[in-house]
Chains A and B, each alone.
Chain A
Amino acid sequence: MKELICIVCPRGCHLKVDENDDYKVTGHRCARGVLYGYQEMTAPTRVVTSTVVLENAGEERCPVRTSQAVPKAKMFEVIDIVRKLKISAPVSLGQVLVPDIAGSGADLIATRSFSGTGN
């Protein structure tokens, strides 16, 4: 039995998920909690956000994120790639910086535009 806090809505129900009973969820107050409990136990995912080194923009860092949630187990692998990345302005919002990052199926995208002023 694993205890989880449901994060789908602010009520924050304390869920219990039974791994030995096909991930049966109890403690939820609505059906979304059941889905969350099941997913969080079987295939948890997270959107990863960070920054990368930016050149030629007069700013130090460009904010980035994964275009969709990636498997939680891949989180550190994604971050390792992000930390080694260096990009140069101009950059546009939504621009794909690394396609299919760490084989996660998600792209790494820029979340802000920078014109290449270089000052």
Chain B
Amino acid sequence: MKTQQYDLVVIGGGPAGMAAAVSAYDQGVRSIVILERDKQLGGILNQCIHNGFGLHHFKEELSGPEYAERYIKDVRARDIEVRLESMVLDLNSERIIQLVSPSHGFELIEAKAVILAMGSRERARGGIGTPGTRPAGVLTAGAAQRYVNLEGQRVGENIVILGSGDIGLIMARRLSLEGCKVHACVEIMSEPGGLARNIVQCLQDFDIPLLLSHTVTRIEGKKRIEAVHIAKVDMQMRPIPGTERRVACDTLLLSVGLIPENELSRAAGVELDNRTKGPQVFENLQTSVPGVFACGNVLHIHDLVDHVSDESARAGRAAAAYLSKQTDTAGGDLIALEAGRGLRYTVPQRLHLRPDLEKLDIFFRVTHTAEEQKIIVESGGKQIALFRRVHVAPGEMEKITLPAKVLAEIQPGAKLSLRLEAAL
């Protein structure tokens, strides 16, 4: 079999892959292919028909498909090859890609640089361990979204939603508008997972009860789900005896979160971060394998697509720089970033402190909701930057940018640490 050659292969044609390919092209890369397993570009956006996308980028509230179409136009306006229905099976550290498609069968591609943009997958029920039978009618909120919005199917009539993540909330509204009865949204934590806006417009508008500090303790039904048992939980999240009640339903939607799609990252030998579940990256979004970059939900879960587009454009530029050998990532001091008190993780996890680094974008999530906070950036025990926030929450990704004059104060050999503190 003949191995095909490309300068840049982008795996995944969602918003991340499209923005990365476009920016690499605009930096002069001409041999680019996007490999997408679906029969269209756009990724998860195609099924997100609700509005709320693009407020930062386009200053208007678009639906997912509208946001996607703007980027699809950008891709089509350039000489970027797009291969649809092309599923990548394997990637190794030499950047050899195994690909399969209905039109060409099995193929091998060798890339000088690769951008990982495969998005995320939903945590499945196995990951949350609800006892009981395994009947039909139990599915993830995202799968329901695909059936209803893309295929026009009905998932059921009487619905219970487990988890208060945004996808579940969006589906509560969608199914209510479709004439289904959503009996409850059950959340084990004492705070909802999704945005306040979705609590109001997706639950309250339709009088759907939000049961905080509650969980599903049992699923009933042989072939098809017939009921769930819902109970209140204590501080240790254990069901409180005597609070259990039975709710008849034919469908249980699971909305318990997303995790990066990391099978290919793992196959390529990319070092992963067990907090983000995605690759560890340097400041230019390069992974531990030279020439392999990552962006979008495959890197860490984003809540705003605008951030995905920005981050991915950076990955595209970095891949272009790598291809033209402008970036010698081996150069400069290696600095580790540390997510200190109040932070769950940072992206990037490491950086090469090169003199030509103009600024550094750091994304992170906080561990708890709080008001009036400051983010303190320290190097070698010395504070080098401070950012203020009136409100932080785990559900909202934070971003800070360190300018060159702050980067100049980083101590070689020391960690760059970030922490959260109350601003008094």
Contacts and interface: CB of A to CB of B under 8 A. Distances in A.
B65 interface: yes
Contacts of A4: 200
A49 B50 contact: yes
A12 B196 contact: yes
Contacts, number: 73
A60 interface: yes
A47 B51 contact: yes
A90 to B, nearest CB: 14
A5 B199 contact: yes
Interface string A1-45: 000111101111000000000000000000000000000000000
Given A49-B49, A72-B205, A93-B66, A63 B149 contact: yes
Interface residues of B, number: 31
A12 B395 CA distance: 13
A10 B391 contact: yes
A104 interface: no
Interface residues of A, number: 30
Nearest to A7: B197
Nearest to B46: A112
A61 B152 contact: yes
A63 B201 contact: no
B82 to A, nearest CB: 15
A59 B201 contact: no
Given A7-B196, A51-B49, 8 more contacts: A4-B200, A11-B390, A47-B61, A60-B151, A65-B63, A111-B49, A112-B46, A112-B69
24 contacts: A4-B200, A5-B199, A5-B200, A6-B196, A7-B196, A7-B197, A10-B195, A10-B196, A10-B391, A11-B390, A46-B205, A47-B51, A49-B63, A51-B148, A51-B152, A63-B149, A65-B63, A75-B177, A111-B63, A112-B46, A112-B65, A112-B66, A112-B69, A113-B69
Interface of B: 46, 49-51, 61-66, 69, 148-152, 174, 177-178, 195-197, 199-201, 205, 371, 390-391, 393, 396
